[in-house]
Structure formats: structure tokens, C-alpha cells
């Protein structure tokens, strides 16, 4: 057990950030060893929001366990549901109708934009800029309205089911998404104007929290955190699922490796998601939105693994089935946990004031880390 308060034998100060700290966005507990203002060590203590989701899933059927995964990474709830649905479909060997695939990709990309919007606002707020938060939420509200209209909920939608989606899209869906694209394009310059170009912001981000490509790989970082260091790891590109091998999009890479590079990756990813939505939104084919599946789903005996790209990185779902109606074991490989493990490496030797900037660009969602 580590010491959580007081001084070490070298005279270094040990302080706690969290579990109740506004900049940790949840119940993350960081035990920091400080030498003056310089960080010697960051020791994340987890478990404050552990709900044993993996164990819970073992007692739920293959239709029921999907809703729990919305509560892991609640900002990309759709993509979590998508990963689970894909894994069950892989076991059942069900072909998903084309219409459902289009809807799924659209929802995933909308979720990704919504998640990055919230990250952008919250991170600017961590660094002391309060206005961007409201600007981000104004655009995010439009996505939430679209979700509310089609899925019936704003955050934990539970819209993906094994074999497709739960309901057809709302008649207004395409019209509203198109008007959102227009709105987003017109407001995106504001983001660069207010935050990216701001000299105070740049000084606080550039050169802070450097993570080399080798370290990003060795810590298992994925998503924008690794792509900011120049590691190509977009699951949508390297192992395309659903439609992603048919749409044209770029994998966003920055080679800076610092907080600013990670910031730019996420900002450019929002634009790229808009590009994907624009290609898909007019071409939704007619047909079923859900494949015919049995009332009681039984996966054959075996092990199944799928991976998707959430807004934070690679999410893996691993199901071990004994042939029954409930999984024998489920394991989630969450992106937040691996990304957090790089924080100690990044923060060593930097000032404590920069810790919030580093945590902000890692885009930590604590329920995703703990599950």
C-alpha cells in the first residue's frame, strides 16, 4: 500500500488529487509525489466507481447485457453497444442488413462528434476558459436532440441490438442531420478562433506531456492519444467493420506527441466524422433495419472477440460462451485504462500545473477505466 498523505523519506510531498476534484471529471484518485512543484510520480488509484459490469454481464442474456455497456464509456454509449452487438453477431453468424449498417455508422460518427465536443469544452474549462464549454454544448445539444428523436434517449440509448438496430430512423432524421452538418461547419471556425489560436492556450499545451511513439505503443495507448504521437492505430482503417471500408476518410495523425498534438487530432477528427456522415447520409438503402433472430439467443461454444474504435480508442469485447443463453465470461478491453497508464510517464518531471492539461488531452472517462 502506498502512502497517500504526508512526506516521503526524501522530503517529497505526497498529495491527493481526487477522488472529488473538478478537473478529474469523475472519481479518479491520483496520488502525486511532488518535489517542490515538480512531479516525481503519479499513482492512479482506481475502484471508486467499480460496478463489476463484467461480472454483471455473466448473469444477463445476450440481448440484455448490451444496455449495461452504455454505462461504461457513457460519452460513446452507441459505440460500446455497437461493439457488443458485433461480438454477438459474430458468434451467431448473422448478416446485418445494409440499412442497419448505414444507420449504425451514422450513429457512431454522431456519437464521436458529440463526445469530442464535450471533451473540447471540458478541456478548455480545465485550463480556465469557461465560454468554450457553452459553445461546445450548444452544438452537442443538436446531436442529443437527433438521438432523442430516433433512439428515445439522450445519453444511454441502447439502440443497437444483435442483428441490427432497435427501431427504424425517425422520418426527420436525415433532414436534421443535414442541418446539423451545416450548423457545425459554420461554427467550427469559432473553435479555432477562441481556443486553438489563443496564445495562452498554446503556451500551456505545446511541449507539455510528451509521449513518444514507442512509449505510446508500449503503454498500449490507442485512439487520439496514440495518434497524436504518430502511431497509426485507427481500428476503422486497419480492421474495418461495417461500412468503414466503403467510405472515404483519412486517419488523422499528428507527430508532435505533446498535448497540443493530441488536441489537434481530436479537433480534426470531428471534421473527418462530418465527412463520413456526409457520404453516408444520402445513401441509406431501403430494407430491413434488423435481421431476423431467434427469440432466445444462444451463442455456440467458443470464444469471440471484436474491436471497434470509440471516441477514446480501441474497445475490445471478448465473450467466452459455453453454449448457453448467458455468457460464461465477458472481458472489455477499455481504451481509457491503457491511456491512463501513460499519465505517470508523461507527467514525471513536469510541473503540477500542467497535470490538468495532460489529463484533459487524455480524455479520461472514469467509468470506462473502472467498469
Partner 1 sequence: MFLARYIKSIFQAVRSLWIGMRRTGYYFSHHKEIITQQYPDNRETLQLPERFKGEVVMPHNEQNEHRCTGCTACELACPNGTIKVITKFDITPEGKKKKAIDKLVYHLELCTMCNLCVVACPSDAIVMAQTFEHSVFDRNQLTKILNNPGSKIMEGVE
Q: Which residues sit at the interface with partner 1, rule CB under 8 A?
A: 60, 63-65, 67-68, 131, 138, 141, 148-153, 156, 158, 161, 166-167, 170, 190, 193-194, 197-200
CB of 274 to partner 1, least distance (A): 20
Whole-number Å distance between alpha carbons of 234 and 231: 9
CB of 172 to partner 1, least distance (A): 9
Cell reading at 45: 488509484
CB of 178 to partner 1, least distance (A): 18
CB of 242 to partner 1, least distance (A): 22
CB closer to partner 1, 259 vs 339: 259
CB closer to partner 1, 15 vs 200: 200
Closest to 109 measured CA to CA, from 259, 225, 336, 277: 277
Query: Which of 101-132 are b and which e, b meaning 16 or more Cβ less than 10 Å from the residue's Cβ?
Result: bbbbbbbbbbbbbbbbbbbbbbbbbbbebeeb
CB closer to partner 1, 142 vs 273: 142
CB closer to partner 1, 152 vs 324: 152
DSSP conformation letters of 203-258: HHHTTSS---HHHHHHTT--THHHHTTT----HHHHS--TTTTTS--PPP-----S
The answer to whether 230 and 254 have CB atoms below 8 angstroms apart is yes
CB of 138 to partner 1, least distance (A): 6
The answer to whether 222 and 339 have CB atoms below 8 angstroms apart is yes
CB closer to partner 1, 65 vs 102: 65
Q: Bridge partners of 100?
A: none
CB of 160 to partner 1, least distance (A): 12
The answer to whether 190 and 183 have CB atoms below 8 angstroms apart is no
CB of 152 to partner 1, least distance (A): 4
CB closer to partner 1, 51 vs 348: 51
Q: What is the DSSP letter of 53?
A: H
Cell reading at 246: 466503403
CB closer to partner 1, 5 vs 199: 199
Whole-number Å distance between alpha carbons of 88 and 84: 6
Amino acid at each position: 500500500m502506498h502512502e497517500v498523505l504526508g512526506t516521503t523519506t526524501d522530503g517529497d510531498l505526497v498529495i491527493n488529487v481526487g477522488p472529488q476534484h473538478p478537473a478529474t471529471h469523475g472519481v479518479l484518485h491520483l496520488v502525486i509525489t511532488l518535489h517542490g512543484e515538480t512531479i516525481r510520480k503519479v499513482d492512479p488509484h482506481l475502484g471508486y466507481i467499480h460496478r463489476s459490469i463484467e461480472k454483471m454481464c455473466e448473469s444477463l442474456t445476450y440481448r440484455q447485457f448490451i444496455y449495461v455497456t452504455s454505462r461504461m464509456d457513457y460519452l460513446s454509449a452507441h459505440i460500446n453497444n455497437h461493439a457488443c452487438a458485433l461480438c454477438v453477431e459474430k458468434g451467431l453468424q448473422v448478416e446485418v442488413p445494409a440499412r442497419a449498417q448505414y444507420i449504425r455508422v451514422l450513429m457512431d460518427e454522431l456519437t464521436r462528434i458529440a463526445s469530442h465536443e464535450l471533451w473540447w469544452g471540458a478541456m478548455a474549462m480545465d485550463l480556465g476558459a469557461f465560454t468554450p464549454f457553452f459553445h461546445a454544448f450548444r452544438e452537442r445539444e443538436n446531436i442529443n436532440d437527433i438521438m432523442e428523436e430516433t433512439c428515445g434517449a439522450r445519453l444511454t440509448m441502447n439502440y443497437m441490438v444483435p442483428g441490427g438496430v432497435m427501431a427504424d430512423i425517425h422520418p426527420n432524421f436525415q433532414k436534421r442531420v443535414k442541418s446539423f452538418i451545416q450548423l457545425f461547419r459554420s461554427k467550427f471556425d469559432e473553435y479555432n478562433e477562441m481556443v486553438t489560436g489563443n496564445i495562452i492556450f498554446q503556451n500551456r499545451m505545446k511541449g507539455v506531456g510528451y509521449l513518444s511513439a514507442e512509449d505510446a505503443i508500449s503503454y498500449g495507448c490507442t485512439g487520439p492519444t496514440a495518434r497524436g504521437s504518430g502511431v497509426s492505430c485507427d481500428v476503422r482503417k486497419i480492421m474495418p467493420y461495417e461500412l468503414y471500408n466503403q467510405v472515404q476518410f483519412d486517419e488523422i495523425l499528428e507527430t508532435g506527441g505533446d498535448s497540443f498534438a493530441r488536441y489537434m487530432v481530436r479537433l480534426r477528427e470531428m471534421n473527418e466524422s462530418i465527412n463520413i456522415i456526409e457520404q453516408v447520409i444520402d445513401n441509406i438503402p431501403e430494407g430491413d433495419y434488423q435481421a431476423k433472430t431467434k427469440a432466445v439467443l444462444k451463442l455456440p461454444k467458443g470464444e469471440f472477440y471484436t474491436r471497434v474504435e470509440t471516441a477514446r480508442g480501441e474497445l475490445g469485447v471478448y465473450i467466452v460462451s459455453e453454449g448457453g443463453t448467458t455468457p460464461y465470461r465477458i472481458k472489455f478491453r477499455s481504451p481509457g485504462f491503457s491511456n491512463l497508464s501513460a499519465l505517470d510517464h508523461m507527467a514525471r518531471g513536469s510541473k503540477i500545473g500542467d497535470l490538468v492539461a495532460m489529463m484533459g488531452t487524455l480524455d479520461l472517462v472514469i467509468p470506462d477505466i473502472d467498469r
